[in-house]
Structure 1
């Protein structure tokens, strides 16, 4: 008989000693009013895993585990006013540092097998931004448009594991290209972005540092064709034309006047034509198209973050409260993906989230459960009756 519920076992994945070091670094338990940083973390993770809609739901949900809170490392369930206060006043930097510490010590220590791009022996990073809409009359600090509020998540996803290695949260007005240079990529890595990031100064900087990029060209891009390749063999792979080009006009000066590669690709499934721009001259054209195709993984990540965890609505209205909810959602998705990776059962992440939500306070061995989540039907005997006694 297991004495710990599912939620307690998930929390046990977090190294308490590591957490204590971060608490001491940020002095986040100073003036804590009896609700320490661990209770705060447990409360916010409960919010995400149970899909709580308010601080009242968080408080009542934790209070319903009377007698089991000590298994969570929680002395007492916080009241709704406690949660509101600590969300407003405890620094979100604690949870930000915890996410990146868990990423290093829990997630990245294991190897991640690629389902695609196995022939590419380089680090691949997917970069994009996503807007989270907010009501401007309530979140008056989140300026976006005259009548709308929003925050924007500027994210760099490591293709191996598909979790963020960098995230910057700004107001909704900040364009993607303005934050493109915030993260420094290692030499030889591949950066995949959509055309919202096409800033020739930044692309030139990537090239000068020995990084490769794959993106889509802008419709108004001015260039001259140096070489052009067309063949039936290329067309069979969807490659209409493979060109070596050089930029012309002001764009050439901003980039560094080096040759680029422009691949015209036809997608038979959508009957659309795409134009991929890269600074790698050696790769096969089909590989370039496949690299850009993997950019969809970051869209899937944003979908999981917004739909599976509590990001579409917020339990606090201050800027710090919103930041805490976002960073704890990242901690939550890291823990869930760790369980998904370790499980023998082939979980879809959305199904895993749903099953944990239904069983969050059930006392079962989570490792056995994620390997074999369903009760198997009884074995029938030869005459069609249930086999009760074995031979």
Structure 2
């Protein structure tokens, strides 16, 4: 109900399947998804062909249960495969419902797919910096309270950072590298001062100015084209810590 006909829904790996794609087509919703090379024999062949774009027809898998589905094993779906070359020579395979090569040339999809990155990093901050999955109680009220408190703190941090954008632009003109706010430290500074903002007689404006000054004093450089090898299995064996209830180690 939130999607409109001209929207483009972007998904990372793990989402694509025949049934998932079928539901988008049925609802006239355009999509762009990343798929593993091993998604099907067709994607394997496409990856080895070196083509930049190819329209293919997909069918449901041989072992897929379809007795309760609105489609059968002979229901075709036309989709388009795309190749995206990464800086280190790696290749990503994307699949989309946008079939018109003239209206949507292959060159635009790398930038389109990267639009999801801001949302992914936001979830990373919520989970790993604000500990949104760690709750101080079992009740529905406790869980909602902790969840919305994390969002509230994130919004305050975002507002402060946005107010510093002009200052950063001016400061970066005189430096070798562009600098940005240190996200880790910014949440720590805010954590220690959140009560000053709302529950003391201290001026809120003064508290904000102190936070902004701390943010500006602890910038980190942005080094162009710097990247790290992705360790895709680093969370596979991770065990979530046991958090004693009523002792939440975050905000």
TM-score by length of 1: 0.39
Equivalence for 2:54: 243
Quick one: distance in 1 between partners of 2:189 and 2:210? 10
Give 1:185's aligned residue. 3
Q: Which has the higher contact order (CA 8 A, sep 6+)?
A: 1
Residue 136 of structure 2: SS of its match in structure 1? coil
* Matched residue, 1:197: 15
TM-aligned CA distance change 1:296 to 1:375, over 3 Å: closer
Matched, 1:288 2:129: no
Aligned 8 A contact 1:200 1:255 in 2: no
Take 2:193 and 2:167, find their aligned partners in 1: how far apart are those partners?
17
Tell me how far apart the structure 2 counterparts of residues 374 and 197 of structure 1 sit (CA, whole Å): 37
Report the secondary structure of 1:204's partner residue: helix
Checking the alignment, whether the CA contact within 8 Å between 1:240 and 1:265 is kept in structure 2 is no
The CA deviation at 1:305 is 0.7
Q: Which residue of 2 aligns with 1:262?
A: 81
Between 184-193 and 330-339, the greater mean CA deviation after superposition: 330-339
C-alpha distance in structure 2 between counterparts of 1:374 and 1:335, whole Å: 13
**Which whole-Å CA distance do the structure 1 matches of 2:92 and 2:112 have between them?**
13
Matching residue of 1:123:
none
Residue aligning to 1:352? 186
Output the aligned Cα RMSD.
3.8
Q: CA deviation at 1:214?
A: 0.9
Corresponding position of 1:47 = none
Change (3 A) 1:337 1:255: farther
Within a 5 Å distance, the mapping from 1:1-391 to structure 2 comes to 184-218=2-36, 219-221=38-40, 223=42, 240-248=51-59, 257-269=76-88, 271-282=89-100, 283-311=104-132, 313-343=134-164, 344-346=166-168, 347-360=181-194, 361=196, 363=203, 365-366=206-207, 368-369=209-210, 372-373=213-214
Gaps of 5+ in 1: 1-182, 231-238, 377-391
> Take 1:281 and 1:375, find their aligned partners in 2: how far apart are those partners?
47
CA deviation string 1:55-85 (max 9, x = no partner): xxxxxxxxxxxxxxxxxxxxxxxxxxxxxxx
Question: Which of 1 and 2 has greater Rg?
Answer: 1
Gapped regions of structure 2 (runs ≥ 5): 63-70, 169-180, 197-201, 218-251
SS in 1 for 2:4: coil
Shift of the 254–266 alpha-carbon distance from structure 1 to 2, 3 Å rule, reads: farther
